[in-house]
Chains A and B, each alone.
Chain A
């Protein structure tokens, strides 16, 4: 095939994939079930046999990594997405996100906001973030003004450079493999934002007993920032605000209803009002909150980590776009046939009527040394591609 014919062939493939997602996002039944690969950058690096820290520090090496990844697995959505790159975290002296000894980026439990700082935070969250929270969690920002300015300048410059390189790799993979780009902005539910890096799990759990009004006021104050953060800057065909959901399963029902749900729902509604599709990673177990999830704007994307797929499809499947459920542990422990059978089972439950996007329950971070996960994942993705047709 000539280069031009090959390019046209891949352009046609991109168009077909774009139509799949367009239909999915609009709530129409697509030609087949769209597929995302649950394996992460870390998996892709191991799969390519490259040292982890080297591949993440020299981002240009990810060209080879992603080329092999796209060759070896069938999927629709470009895997080169926003991911944690160590360079700018290191330049800021990060305590919040660090590279572990195995080369994986990790988030230890941190406390960026003290309980006695709630009032200051409520008065102006962004001021408090700049003046108190960031210097506490990023040591290079806990310095004199000149040093702080230089640290920030270097970090932002390397951030721009590395993500520009990733952007070039992404376009190359698109052109070579006919993939679709889903442009994502990361944001959080206000309560999760207060918990994750600010008060910590232990801190926020105590705060809802000791300072409930302040927790409510802080979530309210940070809500506009979460909407702004989730607003994708450039108008693209597929704009998604990605919201991983963290704390809800650890809350009592009445605390969820009072502290978590109201501001989270308003963030989702505000984003949808701006024309942005919302994609939730429904982490851990949300089965007792399914009726709440139903209230969200139509065609909200929901990827489930746990739960009964039949019940979720019954309660949410007519209104919302469902994803997840496929257990990645099976890829480690099962035979290829067992893995494919599981995919078939989930397609049978979740695909009818459309509004189903194949993905796994969690992200696959580790590649085992004998390649079982990769082989099983290949078999599963090929099965969904071949058989997940309407």
Chain B
């Protein structure tokens, strides 16, 4: 199977007030900008995803 044969969906856009991306989070907490973003960003997003998986999982 060639990867090119598969049509990718594109980036998942949540469009929700209950899911904050790292970029949105930095706008809310500007003091975090430029401070070890490669460490803080993934951690913040990880817990958004944990919450998402838990809540949507309650409906499966």
Co-complex (A, B): yes
In the complex, identify which listed stretch (A267-275, A303-311, A329-337) lies at the interface while the others stay far away: A267-275
Closest Cβ of chain B: how far from A156's Cβ, in Å? 6
Total B residues in contact with A, Cβ cutoff 8 Å: 27
Given the interface pairs A270-B9, A273-B8, the reply to whether A156 lies near B54 with Cβ below 8 Å is yes
> Does B39 belong to the interface (CB within 8 Å)?
no
In the complex, identify which listed stretch (A124-132, A166-174, A285-293, A363-371) lies at the interface while the others stay far away: A124-132
Given the interface pairs A266-B9, A269-B6, A270-B8, the reply to whether A188 lies near B60 with Cβ below 8 Å is yes
Q: Hey, which chain B residues are within 8 Å of A229, CB to CB?
A: 52-53, 56-57, 60
In chain A, what residue has the closest Cβ to B12? A224
Cβ of A227 and Cβ of B9 under 8 Å apart?
Answer: yes
How far, in whole Å, are A96 and B15 apart by their CA atoms in the complex?
26
Near B by CB (< 8 A), chain A positions 156-180 give 156, 159
Instruction: Scan A137-170; emit 1 where CB is below 8 A from any B CB, else 0.
Output: 1100000000000000000100100000000000
Q: Which of B6, B12, B59 is within 8 Å of A196, CB to CB? A: B59
Given the interface pairs A223-B9, A299-B1, the reply to whether A126 lies near B52 with Cβ below 8 Å is yes
Cβ of A269 and Cβ of B7 under 8 Å apart?
Answer: yes
In chain A, what residue has the closest Cβ to B14? A126
Instruction: Scan A210-236; emit 1 where CB is below 8 A from any B CB, else 0.
Output: 000000000000011101110001000
Interface SS of A by simple majority? helix
Cβ of B14 and Cβ of A224 under 8 Å apart?
Answer: yes
In chain B, what residue has the closest Cβ to A267? B9
How far, in whole Å, are A298 and B6 apart by their CA atoms in the complex?
10
How far, in whole Å, are A293 and B10 apart by their CA atoms in the complex?
23
In chain A, what residue has the closest Cβ to B46? A233
> Does A92 belong to the interface (CB within 8 Å)?
yes
Q: Hey, which chain A residues are within 8 Å of B59, CB to CB?
A: 96, 112, 129, 133-134, 137, 193, 196-198
Closest Cβ of chain A: how far from B3's Cβ, in Å? 7
How far, in whole Å, are A46 and B57 apart by their CA atoms in the complex?
26
> Does B5 belong to the interface (CB within 8 Å)?
yes
Closest Cβ of chain A: how far from B9's Cβ, in Å? 3
Cβ of B54 and Cβ of A269 under 8 Å apart?
Answer: no
How far, in whole Å, are A53 and B28 apart by their CA atoms in the complex?
45
Q: Which of B3, B12, B16, B53 is within 8 Å of A273, CB to CB? A: B3
Q: Hey, which chain B residues are within 8 Å of A125, CB to CB?
A: 16
Given the interface pairs A224-B12, A297-B5, A297-B6, the reply to whether A186 lies near B54 with Cβ below 8 Å is no
Given the interface pairs A186-B60, A266-B9, A273-B8, the reply to whether A298 lies near B1 with Cβ below 8 Å is yes
Q: List 8 A-B contacts (CB under 8 A).
A: A127-B18, A137-B58, A137-B59, A224-B12, A266-B9, A269-B7, A273-B8, A297-B1
6 tightest A-B contacts by CB?
A270-B9, A126-B16, A273-B8, A298-B1, A224-B12, A197-B59
Interface residues of B, Cβ cutoff 8 Å to A:
1, 3, 5-9, 12-19, 46, 49, 51-60
